[in-house]
Structures are given as structure tokens and as C-alpha cells.
Amino acid sequence: MAEFDVDLFVIGGGSGGVRAARIAANYGAKVMVAEEYRMGGTCVIRGCVPKKLFVIGSHVHQEIEDAAGFGWSIGQVSFDWATLVANKDKEIARLEGAYTTNVEKSGARIVKTRAVLEDAHTIRLATGEKVTAKYILIATGGAPNHGPAVPGIEHVISSNEAFHLKELPKRIVIQGGGYIALEFAGIFAGFGSDVTVVYRGDNILRGFDEDVRKHVRTEMEKRGITIITGCTVSKVDKHGKDYTTHLSSGSSIASDQVMFAIGRHPNVRGLGLEAAGVAINPANGGIQVDGWSKTSVDNIYAVGDVTHRTNLTPVAIREGHAFADTVFGKRPVQVDHATIPTAVFSQPEVGTVGLTEEEARAQYSHVDIYKTDFRPIKATMSGRDTRVLMKLVVDGSSDRVLGCHIVGDAAAEITQAVAIAVKMKATKADFDATVALHPTASEELVTMRTPTARHVRQAAE
């Protein structure tokens, strides 16, 4: 009789857990996956996929407006929020089915229930069943964080509920200045809502390059989105179907929806981590792991947002795959968390990879900056007041490109390709030697020949 019921028990049916389960099963492991809600996790069910679908839909209004400059005369148009939501739900259900099928095809078993650790090798299911496992992988992801409770917090929605609203709000207040807040600001504004963004910091997109932060804010404000910084929501009152949002500055805003998007926290509560001896990282509240995604318990691992390392779906997938290769494939693989490309599907879109100017200047003695800000070709005919930002951060000593930052249409698509060059440690000379692809916005990346700034850090005496 086998010592354990399964070789691997995965808690969480999101991107990281599913990848780990499939790869481990392909190596011949007996695998069980527990998911208490829906297969697919944050990204598929309530994150990047439905968000991107909403972003694409919200662009249509702008395309219609821009069409006149190209000779199109488009008559009266209408938008139906309920149709968008229904079609999105249909696509998400299809993807959920695909995730489920792929796991089952690999030979792993799915149990649709909550799973809690009883000890380092025992999992108790909500059905009452107990399962023993040689290895356990925790991949429970994260959840929206509303921050400190304020009066009226019960009236506030998160990004989760935003995907299921019965109707499009005419006016919405969104607290937050990160990517989720800005993406939803663009979505609602694109569909015709009056949007106000409230953020406690001095400017939106904390942690991004300063030029990116300024450019995105300017472009969003051009599109009619109100951005209030240095301020927080102190209270939310409800009057029938309407809300009054009171700010720390003393002012107030009327709306028919209030959304908080002020960060996410790791899903660690109620998992039985203490009983199993799994430690929490005091610095970020996620499960403490080493470079192999191993927790403080030798046979228990964790990947994805629950570790609060780099909360991106492709990173969770890479971590899950590396875990399965290491433990079940006997091919030790560590994930390199450096130089990970990132996109913000705000409007305008942001694509970034590598170091910001500020980070580079802190790490390198000589930093050259190449930057351009221009009107895209489409705007010359559409008449839209918009500009594209492209920026390269270069090590002035070695000529290596340390970072690339783009704001504008297709920024994410461009950045994915540029990320390969940055990861390969390409130099500015390599960029310069590449023939431009004309007429594109991205050709600017290989035609910027003169630095717009050169920084030299003086050695301490």
C-alpha cells in the first residue's frame, strides 16, 4: 500500500496550480487539485482576461470618433452593457471548461471544494474527506484589499464585482492609483461613464518610471478622467441608488458607484498554515518561500500571488512549471524574477521592461537616457490630441540597455518583443544597428541616436 494517497496535492485551480498539476502528472505523479470556486483563478475568472475584453470593448467608442478623419461617416450608435457582460461570461465559461479539460486530460483529479491543511502531509476537504500527500503546493492567489475600514465601506465594490454590474454607472469614483484602478478608469470612461480617480500618493502608478507616470496622467486627463492625488476616501454615504464619497481634503463627490482598487493581499487565511508549520513572510504577508518556491516545510511549496513576490499570471505559470520540473522531473529549475516585462492596459497603454531611470541611477554610475514624445501617425488624420512616449535607459559604461518604457497604442505588444533584447543584454549599439520598420511608432526605438540626458554619479570622497 502506498504511503500517501497522492504524490501531489494542489490547493488552488488558477494558472500556477494548474500548470504545476499538469506537468507533475505528465511526469507520472498522482495529482489532485482542489478548487473551491471556479477553475482558472484570478486571471481567467476575475482578472486579466475579462479585464482585457472590457478594455477592447471600451476602445470602440474612440475608434468611432477617430473614423471621421479617415472619411467614415458613422450614424447613431448605441452600447448595451448587459450584452457585453453576457458575452464576457460566455467566454470565461469556455476558458474555465478548457482549464478543467486540460487538467483532467493530464490524468490529475479535480475536486471542487475547499481544502485545509491539517499537518504537513494531510489535507481536509470541506466534504469531510481527508487526503494524504507526499508534496503539497499552495497556489491560492490573492484577493482585493479594501484597506482600513471607513464608514460606508459596505457600499464599495472591488474589481471582482465590477465585472458583474447590472448596469453601466453614469458616474463612478475609483480609489487607487495602481494598474487595476487605472485600467477600470479607462474602461468605464470609454463606455461613457464620468470617472473620478482618487489616490493618496503624489502621482499615479507608484513604482513606474517618473516620465511614464506623468505621461499617463496627462493623457488620461485629456480624455476627461478626473484624477485627484494626495487624498483618500474617508466616508461613503448612500442615498437610494446614489452615493456621496467624502474625501480627506473635505470635499465630496456624487456618483452612482464607488470602487476601491488599492491593492491585493495574499489568500492565506483559513488554509491551516499554522497547523502545518508554514511560515508567513513578515515583509509582505505572503507565504515565505525560497528560490525553489519551497516554504518553511520541506514538502510544501507555494507559487503565484499567494507568495506576494511578483503578482503576474505568466510568473505564476513559470513558477508552477519550475516546481514540477524540480520535484517530479528531477530537473532543478529556478525562476529568474529579474527583467520581467509588465503591461498596464490603461488608456493609453503602458509597456515596460527592466529598470526605471531612478533605479538605474541608483545602481549604475553612468546612465544615459534616450527619450522621445511624439504625435502618432493616426492622430494626424483623426485630429485626436494624444502623444506617444518611448524611453530607453542605458548603462553609459557598458552601453547595455537596462530598461524600456512605452506609453501609447500597442505598447504591450511592442514591449514583449523588446523584452527579449533586454533579457539578452542587448546594447544601444545593437538597437542602433537594427533597421527601422517604417512607418511604425516602434521604429523610434532604433532611431533615437542622441541622449536626452546623461547622468554621472560622483564617487563618494
The Cβ-side half-sphere exposure at 184, using a 13 Å CA radius, reads 32
Cβ(278)–Cβ(116) below 8 Å: no
Q: Is 438 noted as a catalytic residue in this protein?
A: yes
From the list 206, 204, 211, the residue with the least C-alpha distance to 369 is 211
In the chain, the N- to C-terminal Cα span, in Å, equals: 70
How many CB atoms sit inside 10 A of residue 317's CB?
20
For 128-178, list the strands marked E by DSSP.
130-138, 142-144, 171-175
For 256-395, list the strands marked E by DSSP.
258-260, 264-266, 300-302, 342-344, 350-354, 366-374, 388-395
Please calculate the CA angle 37-259-46 and round it to the nearest 5 degrees: 25
Options 164, 308, 438, 455, the catalytic residue: 438
Cβ(198)–Cβ(233) below 8 Å: yes
In sequence order, what are the residues at sequence separation of 6 or more whose Cβ sits closer than 8 angstroms to the Cβ of residue 239?
none
Cβ(284)–Cβ(290) below 8 Å: no
Cβ(456)–Cβ(366) below 8 Å: yes
In sequence order, what are the residues at sequence separation of 6 or more whose Cβ sits closer than 8 angstroms to the Cβ of residue 450?
370
Q: How far is CA 346 from CA 145, 190, 222, 225, 396, in A?
A: 20, 11, 14, 12, 32
- Point out the residues that are catalytic: 438
